[in-house]
Structure 1
Amino acid sequence: MHIVYVSDGKAGHRSQAVGLYKAMQRQSNIEVTFQEISIQELPIFSLLKAIWARRFALFEKKPDYIFGVGSHTQARVLLLGRVYPKAKTVIMMKPNFPVNWFDYAIIPQHDRVKESMHVITTQGALNPIVNENRHQPNRILIALGGNSKRHQWNDEKVLSSIQRLVENNVHATFILTTSRRTPDTFLETLAQQNFYSKLQIFPVEHTPQGWVFEEMQKAEAVWVTEDSVSMIFEALTAGCKVGIIKINRLKEDRITCSIDQIIQSNLVSDQTFIEMLVEPHAFKEAERVATYLLAQ
């Protein structure tokens, strides 16, 4: 079985495609191969010509599945589906085109698209994490985001939340990391706090690729600022207890509503004591989607 992934170069999008590929690889009783090809290598005119030839020279072999994530990949996935009509086209987002133009659209529930023979809804975006059951008691990862189009960073609010975590979990080991959206001056302000010595600080620019995923495998609990939605679902998939650090909202929309919903549905919590967090769920969305696709 061969999977072709049409890539727009965005790491978060690639994570979704690799997550589904890895899940299909684990479940399939035949070899599953994966080829990533950039949209720059797929000019529309060349794809239109390839429809008549029924082949595309850059492909190692005929695809059985064609994956796309991101708006700029959609037309290319559709055209490749015409080049290889036996391949299943899979777009991992709410598409700009009618969903029935694709064989499958994998869409987060917060986009509010009804499930159908063409639509598979998921809780959050897919990711490649598997729970390795290596979690260490009282090890806490704090993962900070930053400003976004729906959230505004507030130093005082975040510092207060971190202080409560430290004070309420006196026997815990704290690992703290930032993101590329965290304000540059925040760590300087954090260093001036009297609880700073309780934290092991790993700025994002000093962490190698895969560092956060490894830390999630070791942490009993992960507290994430609410703007980092993908990281919330990654922590759930890793099998961690998950806490939410609330920050200021600029507006209410489908994403902020989804955060409120997963708190209300008892998947995560806004508590600050590790003992009061929700026990980990068996959260395996990529596995569930892979099972569905392979059964068709």
Structure 2
Amino acid sequence: MHIVYVSDGKAGHRSQALGLYQAMCRQSAAEVTFEEISVEQLSVFSVLLALLKRNTGVVAKPPDYLFGVGSHTQLRVLLLGKIYPNAETVIMMKPNFPLTWFNCAVIPEHDGVEASAHVISTKGALNPIVDEQRHQKNRVLIALGGSSKRHQWNADKVLTAIKEIVRLNPQAEMILTTSRRTPKEFLATLKAQNFVSHIRIFPVEQTPQGWIFEQMQQAEAVWVTEDSVSMVYEALTAGCRVGVILIDRLKQDRITQSIDALLQQQTVSASSDLNQLPSIHNFQEADRVAQKLCTRSLSFGN
């Protein structure tokens, strides 16, 4: 089985494609190969010419699946699907084109598209994480984000939340990390607090690639500021109990509503007490999607 991934170069999009590819490796009895081709290698003009020849000259071998994530990949996936008609076209987003033009669209449920013959609805975006069953009891990771187009960083709220997490969980080993969006002055303020002696701090600039995913494999619980939606789903996929640190919202939209839904469903909690966090969920969205694709089933309900 050969997968061709049309890449726009964005790390978050590539993470989704890799997550599905790796899940298909786990689900398929056959060998699964993966080929990444950038949109720069597939100009629309060159792909149109290739359509006449039925060969791009870029793809190493005829694909069984064509993956795309991102608006710039959609048309290229569709055109490649014409060149390789035996390939299943899989777009991992709500597309700008009619859904029926793709064999399958993998769409987070917060986008409001119902599951159907052409749609697999998922809880959050896919990612390459699996639960490796290495979680250590009373080990806690606190992951901080920052301001975004829908959230405003509130230093007082975050500081109070961290203080409460420390106070209510005196038995826990605490590890905290930041993101590139975390205000630099906040870290200085945090380090000046009396309770900081209970926390080991690892600024994002000092952590190697993959560090946070390894921490999720070791942590029993992860607290994440609500602006970091993808990290909430990554922690759930890693098999952690998840707490959400609430900050100020600039607007309500489908993303903030997805966090509200997780809170209402008690998949995550706004509590600062580890004992009050929801139990671990069997959160394996990439494997669920891969199983549907590998069995060539187009009945994409839950």
- State whether structure 2 residue 32 is matched by structure 1 residue 36: no
Match of 1:152 in 2: 152
> Where does structure 2 lack aligned partners over 5 or more consecutive residues?
297-302
In 2, the alpha carbon distance for the partners of 1:8 and 1:181 equals: 23
Q: Cα offset for 1:180?
A: 1.2
Distance 2:31 2:67 in 1: 17
Paired AA for residue 272 in structure 1: S
2:166 corresponds in structure 1 to 166
Scaled by the length of structure 2, the TM-score of the pair is: 0.97
Aligned partner of 1:178: which letter?
T
Distance 1:115 1:137 in 2: 37
The alpha carbon displacement at 1:113 in A equals 0.5
- Counterpart of 2:179 in structure 1 is 179
Residue equivalent to 1:138: 138
Q: Which runs of 4+ in 1 moved over 6 A?
A: none
Matched, 1:208 2:213: no
| d(CA) in 1 for partners of 2:203, 2:37 | 31
The corresponding residue for 2:228 is: 228
Whether 1:123 and 2:98 are equivalent positions in the alignment is no
Shift of 1:31: 0.4
1:70-126 deviation digits (Å, cap 9, x = unpaired): 111111111111111111110000011111111100000000011111111000000
Q: How does 1:1-296 map to 2 (within 5 A)?
A: 1-296=1-296
Deviation at 1:59, TM superposition (A): 1.4
1:238: Cα distance to partner?
0.5
Moved more, 132-141 or 181-190: 181-190
SS in 2 for 1:221: strand
Tell me the amino acid that sits aligned with residue 81 of structure 2.
G
SS of alignment partner, residue 208 of structure 1:
coil
Q: CA–CA distance in 1 between the matches of 2:290 and 2:165?
A: 37
Q: Distance in 1 between matches of 2:9 and 2:175?
A: 29
Offset, 1:63: 0.7
Measured in 2, the distance between the counterparts of 1:281 and 1:79 equals 39
Partner-residue secondary structure (3-state), 2:275: helix
Partner Cα separation in structure 2 for residue 191 and residue 37 of structure 1:
45
* SS across alignment from 2:131: coil
Q: Report deviation, 1:183.
A: 1.2
Q: Distance in 2 between matches of 1:145 and 1:232?
A: 11
Per-residue CA deviation, residues 207-254 of structure 1 (Å, 9 max, x unaligned), is 111111100000000000001111001000100000000000001111
Q: Aligned with 2:78: secondary structure?
A: helix
TM-score, normalization by structure 1: 0.99
Q: Separation in 2 of the partners of 1:30 and 1:195?
A: 53
Work out the CA distance in 1 between the residues paired with 2:9 and 2:185: 29
Q: Distance in 2 between matches of 1:55 and 1:202?
A: 49
Deviation at residue 189 of structure 1 after TM alignment: 1.2
Q: RMSD across aligned C-alpha pairs, in angstroms?
A: 0.7
Gap runs ≥5 in structure 1: none
CA distance in 2, matches of 1:185, 1:79: 49
Q: Measure how far apart 1:56 and its partner are.
A: 1.5
Structure 1 CA distance for aligned equivalents of residues 57 and 207 of structure 2: 38
Q: SS at the partner of 1:244?
A: strand
